[in-house]
Structure 1
Amino acid sequence: MRITFHGATRQVTGSAHLVEIGSRKILLDCGLFESDRFNPQSPNRSLDFDPAGLDAVIVSHAHNDHIGRLPVLVRNGYRGPIYTTPPTADILNIMLRDSARIQREDARNAQLRNPDAEPLDPLFELTDVEWVVERLVRLPYERPTELLPGITLTYHDAGHILGSAMVQLDFKEGEARRRFLFTGDLGRRDMGMMPNPTVVKDIDVLVSESTYGAKELDSYDKLLKQMHAIVLRAIRLQSKIIIPAFSLGRTQRMIYTLLELFHQHRVKPIPVYVDSPLATRLTEVHREHPSSYTEEARALLEYEGGFFNSSDVHFCPTWDDSRRLNYLNGPLVIVASSGMCEAGRIRHHLRHAVEDPDNAVVIVSYQAEKTLGRRIAEGVERIQIMDRWHDLNCAVYVLDGFSGHADRNDFAWWYEQTGGGIQSAFLVHGEPESMEALSPVLQPFVRDAVIIPEKGQGFEV
């Protein structure tokens, strides 16, 4: 067996790992790198392997850093099946279409800004997305399926977002049975809405993500108490709570948490406005997969007869709906994208809210360096939103425990539950400091030294 790492090496984007078992070639994920898509040198515009030579593609979940280059793969000659869980297939369809639309708009706007420049095509078009969708094969959790002769694929719930999965491959080398496991993005424990990550034993080769391997995040109970206090403050001051959130996963998590406060912890309900067309479509997918949630979550989300259909939650499909929110009096909550405040409707709400000390901004998503969200989280005195500067007078709360990624303690728990005896292990999908911090946590359960691969490195295991 050979593994070659083509992305998410010493960084958290571009997930793509090529597994070769005998003569068979299997690609795990094909995600976008954090890069200017219109830069001719962008790593998103090239593939370091032959797509036509692949026998199968397996997707762990539908975040763009795991699926964003699938249309590029198909455009460059891949003609085989693409395996996903059923919820991931539904989400992937929406996410890739939205990405194609945004790229086409960005290309048009770039040409308008600089008409003399040579036009650069988007990474892919809607027609490429159609070909991806045509190739999807939906597999539920815990159903072993013959992927290729002698190779069995089993998906396990990773607990990260709806449909997220760990990828297990079972096969034989000579007379020896072997088991490979890719964690995808591993979720946190005891977060209420999504089940805990499934425990997998008898692993021979492990590829593990490491995003928050250096962090210990707040428990869900503590996060609930913090949100409780923030909502009570808004009620007392008759003010607004602005929550920048990614459309997939984090928005639905915040809806769930607020409903839990209202209906289980007896906090006086206040209106919650979800202001993102993409988040609205993705929430519809969440409604269609009730069996994916914990028993407690199903009871809460069915409170008024339908998942995510509470009378306390209002969706804003149009720009007029969005603009009206700026003239409403509090108390209220606005959950809007983008999660890092770099685009989307969130910027308009921030412009109307950040100078009032009674309002609050709650940061619940990862904030990359140099983004508007990072500057807000750091509490700078002034911020630039689009073309204007504003005093950052509002209260700012950073609750990064709402992350869908396992922290150091979650990893330690999961590694221990595997029972150890792992022959070879690799850490991907994390910054170098996270990997270096997590490596000694994993090492006691692995016979060989834990490896932190470089991009393009291959290993016989």
Structure 2
Amino acid sequence: MRITFHGATRQVTGSAHLLEIGPHRILLDCGLFDSDRIDPASPNRVLPFDPRSLDAVVVSHAHNDHIGRLPYLVKEGYAGRIFTTPATGDIASIMLRDSARIQREDVRMAHIRHPHIETPDPLFDLLDVEWLVERLERVRYEEPREIVPGVTLTYHDAGHILGSAIVQIDYKEDGRDRRFVFTGDLGRRNTSLLPDPAVVKNIDILVSESTYGNRELEPYERLMKQLHAIVARAIRLQSKVVIPAFSLGRTQRMVYCLQELFATHKLRPIPIYVDSPLANRLTEVHRDHPEAYTPHARALMDKDPLYFGSKYVEFCQTFDDSRRLNYQRGPMIVISSSGMCEAGRIRHHLRHVVSDPDNAIVIVSYQAEDTMGRKISEGVERLQILDHWYDLNAAVYVLDGFSGHADRNDLAWWYEQTGGEIEHGFLVHGDPEAMEALTPVLQPFVKNPVKLPEFHESFEV
């Protein structure tokens, strides 16, 4: 096998790994880089391989850093099958249509702001997404599928978000059975909503994520106690709690955690408002897959007519619904996107709560450098929100343990469960510091030195 790393190398975006097994070429993921999509020099506009030469595409899960360039791949000539889990296929169709809409709007605004500068077309449009959706082939967990002659795909539950998968590829080489495994993004253990990541054994070649390879996150029970205290404070002060959350995964997890808090921790329920049109659509997909959740979560959510819904949860449908929350008295909780506070309705909610010390802002997601979310989590004195400056007086709580990513301890546990004897190991999808910290954790289970690939670097394994 030859493997070439075309993304997520010493960074956490742009996941794309090309496998060459005999005459077959298989692409694992085709995600967006953290770059302006309408910039002509964006790495998102460069495919370092001929899409028409690919025999299959295998997708690990539906976050944009893993699926965001799939329509571009189709636009540039790929005409084969794209394998996903059933839930990932449902989510990807929503996420990519939303991405096409955003790009179209970005181009329109660029024309308005800079009418004399030529702006490139969007990376892809809605028609490209529709062609992509036609090519999706859904494969259930633990059901092996031959994707090209002599090469079998098996998906295992990664526990990261709904539909996320560990990718197992089995094939023969020189008469010998071999197994390649790509972790995708692994989830945390013991988080109540989704199962723990599945264990895979007898691995010959492992490509592992390393997002939190240098961090140990708070255990779930401690996070729930902290969330309890924050909500109890809002009840006591009759104030608001605002939670910036990504529309996929984090919003649904926080709704569930609050439902669990009210049901099992004996805290008086208060209204929860979910304010994100995209999150509303994605929550509908989450309701279509009750089999994905733990027995504990299903027992809790079965008590209400709708999963991720109850008489305490309201999903805002219109901008008027959103605006009404700004003038409504507490106690109340608002969950809104974007998760890093860089766009979306969250900015409107922040400007109405940020200056009142009785209110609270709860950070539950990774915050990239220079984002408003990072500034809030670091406790800056003043914030610029929608062209106005505000004093940051609200209480700020950082509970990033609610992340869907495995931390250093979770990754170490998973490596140990494999049984070791791995011939080749590679770390991707992490900052250099995280990769370097995780290398000695993985190395005892790998016979050869663990590799940290460079961009476009290839290996014969």
Q: TM-score, normalised by structure 2?
A: 1.00
Secondary structure of the corresponding residue to residue 241 of structure 1: strand
Displacement of 1:301: 1.3
The equivalent of 1:152 in structure 2 is 152
1:173 and 2:173 are equivalent in the alignment = yes
The equivalent of 1:449 in structure 2 is 449
Which amino acid in 2 is paired with 1:460?
Answer: E
- Structure 2 counterparts to residues 22-101 of structure 1, below 5 A: 22-101=22-101
The equivalent of 1:296 in structure 2 is 296
Which amino acid in 2 is paired with 1:145?
Answer: R
Secondary structure of the corresponding residue to residue 348 of structure 1: helix
- Structure 2 counterparts to residues 31-430 of structure 1, below 5 A: 31-430=31-430
User: 1:100-137 CA distances to partner (integer Å, 9 max, x unpaired)?
Assistant: 00000110011001111112110000000001000000
Preserved contact between residue 38 and residue 119 of structure 2 (Cα < 8 Å): no
User: 1:371-393 CA distances to partner (integer Å, 9 max, x unpaired)?
Assistant: 00000000010010010000000
Runs (4+) of structure 1 moved beyond 4 Å? none
Which amino acid in 2 is paired with 1:43?
Answer: P
Q: What is the number of equivalent residue pairs in this alignment?
A: 461
Q: Distance in 2 between matches of 1:129 and 1:108?
A: 19
Displacement of 1:66: 0.2
Which amino acid in 1 is paired with 2:20?
Answer: E
Displacement of 1:199: 0.3
Secondary structure of the corresponding residue to residue 397 of structure 1: strand
Displacement of 1:266: 1.1
User: 1:283-338 CA distances to partner (integer Å, 9 max, x unpaired)?
Assistant: 00000000000000111111213211211110001100000000110000000000
Which amino acid in 1 is paired with 2:232?
Answer: L
Which amino acid in 2 is paired with 1:242?
Answer: V
Secondary structure of the corresponding residue to residue 438 of structure 2: helix
Q: Which ranges in structure 1 are unaligned for 5 or more consecutive residues?
A: none
Q: Distance in 2 between matches of 1:220 and 1:5?
A: 34
Which amino acid in 1 is paired with 2:350?
Answer: L
Q: Distance in 2 between matches of 1:452 and 1:441?
A: 14
Q: Distance in 2 between matches of 1:357 and 1:307?
A: 34
User: 1:192-240 CA distances to partner (integer Å, 9 max, x unpaired)?
Assistant: 0000000000000000000000000000000000000000000000000
**Percent identical residues:** 71
Which amino acid in 1 is paired with 2:17?
Answer: H
Which amino acid in 1 is paired with 2:402?
Answer: F
Q: Distance in 1 between matches of 2:58 and 2:113?
A: 39
Q: Distance in 1 between matches of 2:44 and 2:175?
A: 40
Q: Distance in 1 between matches of 2:308 and 2:381?
A: 37
Displacement of 1:265: 1.2
User: 1:251-278 CA distances to partner (integer Å, 9 max, x unpaired)?
Assistant: 0000000000011111100000000000
Q: Distance in 2 between matches of 1:185 and 1:289?
A: 20
Secondary structure of the corresponding residue to residue 267 of structure 1: coil
Which amino acid in 2 is paired with 1:259?
Answer: Q
Displacement of 1:34: 0.1
Q: Distance in 1 between matches of 2:173 and 2:237?
A: 66
Preserved contact between residue 26 and residue 56 of structure 2 (Cα < 8 Å): yes
Secondary structure of the corresponding residue to residue 443 of structure 1: helix
Secondary structure of the corresponding residue to residue 88 of structure 2: helix
Secondary structure of the corresponding residue to residue 38 of structure 1: coil
Q: Distance in 2 between matches of 1:180 and 1:132?
A: 26
Which amino acid in 1 is paired with 2:443?
Answer: Q
Secondary structure of the corresponding residue to residue 39 of structure 1: coil
Which amino acid in 2 is paired with 1:140?
Answer: R
1:14 and 2:26 are equivalent in the alignment = no
Which amino acid in 2 is paired with 1:44?
Answer: N
Q: Distance in 2 between matches of 1:303 and 1:59?
A: 34
Which amino acid in 2 is paired with 1:408?
Answer: R
Secondary structure of the corresponding residue to residue 427 of structure 1: strand
User: 1:142-169 CA distances to partner (integer Å, 9 max, x unpaired)?
Assistant: 0011111111100000000000001000
User: 1:14-65 CA distances to partner (integer Å, 9 max, x unpaired)?
Assistant: 0000001001000000000000112111000110111000000000000000
User: 1:153-188 CA distances to partner (integer Å, 9 max, x unpaired)?
Assistant: 000000000000010000111221000000000100
The equivalent of 2:460 in structure 1 is 460
Q: Distance in 2 between matches of 1:244 and 1:217?
A: 19
Displacement of 1:4: 0.1
Displacement of 1:77: 0.5
Displacement of 1:9: 0.1
Which amino acid in 2 is paired with 1:336?
Answer: S
Which amino acid in 2 is paired with 1:234?
Answer: A
User: 1:319-372 CA distances to partner (integer Å, 9 max, x unpaired)?
Assistant: 000000001100000000000000000000000000000000000011000000
Preserved contact between residue 217 and residue 400 of structure 2 (Cα < 8 Å): yes
